[in-house]
Each structure stands twice: as structure tokens, then as C-alpha cells.
Structure 1
């Protein structure tokens, strides 16, 4: 009974952590896909590389498309920007800037699917932990004692699908970064 309670607590912890972690890439995906944020044009006055990681920082002027506050000291990191050439950006509510595009959105989606995949994998491990439960090929997953059989029939395909989507989104994001 104690092990079951600990397993349930561990599963709830995995779900809570995964839910919290998912808020970060999904929030960013709203801006990188161009669905949220203040649309405008950014023109870089200068760009330089900082730190040992080689972070590229561009500083310039952001002009909102529909009028409003013009930010003459706007900064954006690691974006594909050339000095003097205007590019479309989105201003986030926190004052940061994002360059929307399929490459950035693909990375955010890959990260979100990766979090779902890892959470599903951890839950499969928790479900398969009892000795009488099997996630292997010698026994159909539904034949496991309740509720493990039902959970495994949901979690194993969820893990596989989210892992495949992680690889697909990461590959598309990588290929678009080469273009």
C-alpha cells in the first residue's frame, strides 16, 4: 500500500512538473508563430557577440506597426538580423522581442513535445514498476491488472507519438535554420 501511494505521488509530481515546464515553450510559441505580441519593425543600429557562449545581441529601434511606443533602445538576442535592414518582430508584454518564423516556432514545439514525451516515459516506468505489470511484448498491455493495463495502453502510444513529433519539429526547425 505504501509503494502504491508513493507511486501515485511520484506520478502526480511528474504531471505537475511537466505541466509547469510546458508553459514556457507554449508561451514562447504564441510569439514565435506570430499569433501574439505587438507587431512591428526593428532596425538594428549595431550587433555584437557577448560572452563565451557567443550570444549575438542586436540593438536598434522598434516601431510598432499600428502606432504606439517607439523603443529606440530595443535589444534582441540570437536573431537573424543584419545591421540597417528592417525586420518584423513581436514585442512581448514583458518588453522582450521575438523574431517570429517557422524555425523558432518549430524549436518551441519540439521542446513542448519533448517534455510530453519525457513525462509519458517516466509515467510508463512508474506503471511498469510493480512486478506483476509488464510493458514488454510477451503480454498484452491490457492484460495487466487494473489500472496498469489501461494506463499503459494510453501512455505507450502517447510516448511514441510525442517522441516522433519531437524529432519531426526539431528536424523541420533545423532544416529551416539552414535556409
Structure 2
């Protein structure tokens, strides 16, 4: 019997010790939470640790980016100065940026033409045979070549080609606008 009483006492002490440990763990957690609340400078999330190598690599890339930006600014400034040095014109870049590009205008006109050509082309393609199609294309190319030859031989074109081309473009747009207004 004495042995059983001793075993029971040992078990009771062990159980009491385990309970005490659990109470101490809970209190430690509460104390830790209270300490974290009181300390404002500590963050709850862990900080990112960056190695010295990574820091120096980041600084290096930032420095390279800054060099590239400075170089780009210098080139733009030099280009602006060069544009201003031209005697008659001056700096046209702001004006050029404000105006739509000729490519955009050309695409717009081309799409409008293609819509009209597609409608008429469908009707013509159905009625033309293969030989007639080839002959028609050949005649178109020959007429284009002849017009270019005529243009090259023109005295006014030799004197001032830019003016002639500008007039041609103006006339072409006027005819297109007139065709659109008629429809």
C-alpha cells in the first residue's frame, strides 16, 4: 500500500508540475504580447535582411540608371541646340510633335480608298478573265512609269522638286475631299 500511495503522490506531483508549466507558458505569451504592444518601434513582421552584396548591387544599378538618364538629357539638349542653330527654321520639333504624322494621314486616306476599291473591285473581278486582269495591271504599271518619266523630265521638277511634290499632294487631297463631299 505504501508503494501505491507513493506512486499516486508522484503522479499527482507530475500532473501539478505539467499544469504549472502550462500556466507559465501562457503567462509568458501574455507578457510577450504586452511587451510588443508597449514597444512601438518593433514591428510584428520580420524585417527583410539584405546582404551587403545585394545592397551594393542595388546602388550600382541605381547609379547606372542615373548615368543613362543624364546622358539622355544631354543628348536631347544638344539636339535642341543644334536645331536652334539652323538659320531660317529654328526649332521645329515641338511643331512636328503637335502635328499628325504623314503616315497617319496616309493610312487614313488609304483605308478610305480601300473601302471604295473593294466594292468596285469585287464587281470587276467577277467580270474579268485572267488575261484581262493581267493586261489591266500591265497597263496600270506602264501608265505609272510614264508619269514618273514625265515628272523627271519636267524642268520645274528639276528646279524645285519639293514644291512640285507639295503641290501634287495638295491637289490629291483636294480631289479626295471633293469626292467625299459629293458622296
* TM-score, structure 1 as length reference: 0.20
Highest Rg: 1 or 2? 2
Q: Which has the higher contact order (CA 8 A, sep 6+)?
A: 1
Structure richer in helix, relative to its length:
2
TM-score, with length taken from structure 2: 0.19
Q: Which has the higher strand share?
A: 1
